[in-house]
A = this chain, B = another copy of it.
Amino acid sequence: MTTTELLPLRDLQACCAPITREVISEENAVSVAKAMKALADPARLRLLSMVAAHDDGEACVCDLTEPLGLSQPTVSHHLKILVGGGYLTRSKRGTWAYYRIVPGSLDAVASFLAGV
């Protein structure tokens, strides 16, 4: 497992007009591709949808491992990429880490793709 180097999503929002409106620069295309690679994984898409569906939009890592059917280190690896990519926040309370979707983070990618 490798950890992808990621830029904050605010860079995506700041850097780039929607893809169909303006030719994207090489540098910005690298940033956006990195942000999209953090999403383009089945386990990470499932994690995001599970966190979003959880009570109050917050899920403990302890709630995610079993339904995902992956080992805890693998789940932690994927969560780390989603946090690093700016899609999830992580807060430690007691024994466990809790995750929430960062408001607007998925919309930033959607806006880039569709100009919405």
Contact = CB atoms under 8 A, between A and B. Distances in A.
B36 A48 contact: no
Interface of A is mostly: helix
B53 A22 contact: yes
Contacts of A53: 20, 22-23
Contact of A33 (B21, B23, B45, B50): B45
Given A33-B40, A40-B36, A113-B106, A45 B23 contact: no
Contact of A49 (B23, B33, B52, B69): B23
A107 interface: yes
Contacts of A39: 36, 40, 113
A45 B20 contact: no
